[in-house]
Amino acid sequence: MSSWRSAEYVGSLSVLNVEIQREPAKYARKRAIDDVIIIFKRLKHYEGKGLYFTLIRLEKAKSMDHAKTDYQRPEEDAKNHGTMANLKRLFIVSRPEFLPANLGSLIIGFAWGFNATSGLNLRLLALTILSFSILATVSFIGAQLNTLSDYKLDSLEPRKMKLTKNLKELGPQKVKTAILIELVLSAIFVSTLMYLRREPIQLAIYISVLFLTHAYSSPPLRLKAHSLLAMVSLCLVLSFLPIMFVYYTFAHELTTPFVLFLIGQTLTVYSIIIPTETRDYFVDKAMNVRTMTVWLGLSRATVLAFALLFVGGGLSIAAFLMTQIFADHALLMLAPLTMVAADLYIFRAYYRLYNLSRRQEAVEGDMRGVIGEEVADFSSMNPKWITVATQAIVFVNLIYFVGKILL
């Protein structure tokens, strides 16, 4: 291609835009498809002229066309539609990236609920395994419901192409069957736990989480499209209720430091979720999904993330310092400094995200779309920030747990 503006490949952009929207697969079969995608990426007319969604259609059509060539031989087709292949697809649709968060909730609840006088024994191990099994199973259900409900929305997001591709190949019916199986398994796990612990509040928490995971993603409620309700439901499902559930596996009564930590942890968790909403901001806004970030706007949402992380981190550290373990051993007070370091690292990222958001809101025309793409790309680094924050919090909780045993 002699020039990226070559009329031989592009012609009239407006005409090409309309034609691609009508028949994206037709263009996916042409050698010029890569050149057309490059042109749209360089132009960055992601707002106003509809080229952003045209680019998505092009890339999706291209991937689908290439996928067709992967099944030319019968033996390959059988292999890719076998049981193991479907289990792999189901695993992807279940969003396994949330498993570390479930493990974090388990460690936090265990550290705060554990009573050193009871000691370490097989019963404690069994309760721990049951608790994590329930957390993981319910998390899979929630992720699968969200993937099913957001399929059309996620299909417009190139970053989620792997997710939607695996859902399409697996089929919605198989996912629904898996949800029913997981629901039965989780009910068996909870029944066993109730028999061992006899804590009615855990049953109430379990039912509440199941309701919220369904209501968050699925109609008719679909809480994720209602800003404040989405925020409350995410705080409850991703932090407050799972940690509370695990805590009651090992304790019978709430303590003031634990409640303070739980509030701080919940605020911190929602703070690091906001960039995920920022990443999806443009698609959500175009599809009229009113998340908290869509409701507030990019820069205000980032300010909210700043505030929640600052307050949440402060409350969590204060909670640790209120415990007898940290109060009696001054050296252990150095451990929460890891949380301070993690928060400062995330603050720096938020500051850059805020500046990008302000620039995007200040400009007009084509540059608005260009900077908007920068905002989405930078927000996509959010899993790294989540990992940093989670590792720091889990580390301090492990110190707290070890301190209970040894000190």
Rounded Cα distance, 93 and 393, in Å: 28
The pLDDT of residue 407: 75
Peptide bond into 220 cis (omega under 30): yes
DSSP 98-141: GHHHHHHHHHHHHHHH--GGG-S-HHHHHHHHHHHHHHHHHHHH
Residue type, 388: V
Q: Is the pLDDT of residue 40 over 60?
A: no
pTM of the model: 0.79
- Name the more confident of 114 and 3: 114
Kindly state the average pLDDT of the residues 398-402. 94
- Model pLDDT for residues 160-176, shown as the tens digit of each residue: 788 888 999 999 999 99
Give the confidence band of 55 by pLDDT, cuts at 50, 70, 90: low
Find the range with the poorest average confidence among 29-33, 311-315, 357-361: 29-33
- Summarised one tens digit per residue, pLDDT across range 321-372 is 999 888 788 788 889 999 999 999 999 999 999 999 999 999 887 788 888 8
**What would the two tokens of residue 235 be?**
């705080």
- Residue 65: its pLDDT value, please? 45
Better-predicted residue by pLDDT, 16 or 362 = 362
Which of 369, 363, 374, 371 is CA-nearest to residue 46?
Answer: 369
- The pLDDT mean for the chain works out to 82
In CATH, the architecture of 85-253 is Orthogonal Bundle (1.10)
Tell me which residue of 52, 60, 97 sits closest to 276, measured CA to CA. 97
- What token pair was written down for 388? 């940093």
Give the pLDDT confidence score for residue 261 in this predicted structure.
Answer: 97
DSSP 3-state of 226: strand
Break the chain into its structural domains and give their ranges.
Answer: 13-69, 85-253, 255-394
Pairwise pLDDT comparison (59 vs 270), residue with the higher score: 270
> How would residue 56 be classed by pLDDT, with cut points 50, 70 and 90?
low
Instruction: Give percent of the chain with pLDDT exceeding 90.
Output: 55
Q: Which helix (H) or strand (E) holds 209?
A: helix 200-217
pLDDT of the residue at 107: 96
Q: State residue 75's pLDDT score.
A: 44
**Is the confidence at residue 30, as pLDDT, over 50?**
no
Number of Cβ within 10 Å of residue 303's Cβ equals 16
Architecture of domain 255-394: Up-down Bundle (1.20)
* Distance (Å, whole) CA 30 – CA 28: 6
Check residue 224 and give its pLDDT. 86
What confidence score (pLDDT) does residue 148 get? 93
pLDDT tens sequence across 234-281: 999 999 999 999 999 999 999 999 999 999 999 999 999 999 999 888
- The torsion angles phi and psi of 45, rounded to 5 degrees, stand at -80, 65
- Residue 136's pLDDT band (boundaries 50, 70, 90)? very high
More confident call, 20 vs 366: 366
Buried b (16+ CB within 10 A) or exposed e, 349-383: bbeebbebbebbeeeeebebbbbbbbbbebbeebe
Average pLDDT in the 31-56 region?
46
Q: What is residue 12's predicted lDDT score, i.e. its pLDDT?
A: 39
Residue 349's φ and ψ, nearest 5 degrees, are -65, -40
